[in-house]
């Protein structure tokens, strides 16, 4: 299996582990099992301590852990600069970062403030462009860049509001980046994950309803797990997906195909 994936000793950056439920943590576990060297970035000190605890509990060893706040160019430059000093080359980046103001995730989208709109776009979509640009010089042997999206990017999902518009922007950015970076043998794709109860989903009043609706109507009649998202991300990182770029891959029990 490891031979097919060609991920043994490859350096992969995983951005966005906040706690054990994070999609990024599912990705890290899958990558680690496949023999990759995982480099983590975190923003808040709280996430750093959570990450350290998780690594210890699971007997996982990080290749490196660096601070990175994707809202500033300096922080991104500094983080990838540090990574470049430690490893000669990276082979992949997983961008599993999104944020919006809580008040913009309730009520009507029409009431979104200028600032709330810009903040969601900056954190959740532009950050991918900035990360792609900063990681490109380190992807000397080609690579794979993967972003996390959600169905709300293309359909109206009640309450997703400003995040849906930010994810639409993220998915379009994936395609433009794939076009730009293909010549460097860098692939860029997104995973559109089904609803998973993560920290991001906390405080979403309709979340239980969404999970129930998926159980009833998705072709596979179940919600997706962090491990399922992690394994597909692993596949998209690996040699097995070498012919795929600019794609939005659904890991959602098939929910998106239903009318």
Residues contributing to the site for ligand 1JT (CB under 6 A): 98-100, 105, 150, 157-160, 163, 195, 200-201, 204, 206, 210
Q: Which residues in 113-138 are b (16+ Cβ under 10 Å) and which e?
A: eeebbebbbbbbbbbbbbbbbbbbeb
Q: How far is the CB of 22 from ligand 1JT (least distance, A)?
A: 11
Active site residue 126: no
Q: Which of 32, 160, 250, 255 is catalytic?
A: 160
* Tokens 């532009």 sit on residue: 126
Angle at 77 between CA 71 and CA 82, to 5 degrees: 125
For 125, residues 6+ apart whose C-beta sits below 8 A from its C-beta are 166, 167, 169, 170, 173
CA-atom Rg of the chain in angstroms? 17
Nearer to ligand 1JT, 231 or 252 (CB): 252
What is the C-alpha to C-alpha distance for residues 181 and 186, in angstroms, rounded to an integer?
A: 5
Residue showing the smallest CB distance to ligand 1JT in the complex? 200
Q: How far is the CB of 50 from ligand 1JT (least distance, A)?
A: 17
Angle at 149 between CA 146 and CA 155, to 5 degrees: 150
Cα–Cα separations (whole angstroms), residue 224 to 96, 110, 243:
16, 31, 25
Active site residue 48: no
Q: How far is the CB of 158 from ligand 1JT (least distance, A)?
A: 6
Q: How far is the CB of 192 from ligand 1JT (least distance, A)?
A: 10
Q: How far is the CB of 205 from ligand 1JT (least distance, A)?
A: 9
What is the C-alpha to C-alpha distance for residues 188 and 145, in angstroms, rounded to an integer?
A: 5
- In the chain, DSSP finds a helix count (H) and a strand count (E) of 9, 7
Nearer to ligand 1JT, 4 or 199 (CB): 199
Residues with active-site annotation: 150, 160
């Amino acid at each position: 299996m490891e031979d097919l994936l060609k991920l043994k000793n490859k350096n992969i950056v995983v951005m966005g582990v906040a706690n054990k439920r994070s999609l990024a943590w599912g990705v890290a576990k899958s990558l680690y099992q496949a023999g990759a060297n995982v480099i983590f970035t975190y923003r808040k000190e709280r996430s750093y301590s959570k990450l350290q605890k998780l690594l210890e509990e699971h007997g996982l060893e990080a290749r490196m852990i660096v601070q990175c706040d994707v809202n500033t160019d300096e922080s991104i430059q500094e983080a990838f600069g540090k990574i470049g000093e430690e490893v000669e080359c990276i082979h992949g980046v997983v961008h599993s970062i999104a944020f919006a103001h809580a008040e913009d995730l309730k009520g009507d989208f029409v009431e979104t403030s200028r600032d709330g709109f810009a903040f969601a776009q900056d954190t959740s979509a532009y950050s991918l462009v900035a990360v792609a640009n900063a990681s490109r010089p380190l992807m000397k042997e080609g690579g794979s860049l993967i972003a996390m999206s959600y169905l709300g990017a293309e359909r109206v999902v009640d309450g997703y509001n400003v995040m849906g518009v930010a994810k639409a922007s993220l998915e379009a950015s994936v395609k433009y980046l794939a076009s730009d970076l293909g010549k460097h043998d860098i692939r860029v794709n997104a995973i559109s994950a089904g609803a998973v109860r993560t920290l991001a989903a906390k405080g979403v009043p309709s979340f239980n309803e969404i999970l129930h609706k998926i159980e009833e109507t998705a072709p596979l009649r179940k919600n997706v797990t962090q491990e399922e998202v992690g394994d597909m991300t692993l596949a998209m990182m690996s040699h097995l997906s070498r012919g795929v770029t600019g794609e939005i891959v659904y890991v959602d029990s098939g929910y998106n195909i239903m009318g």
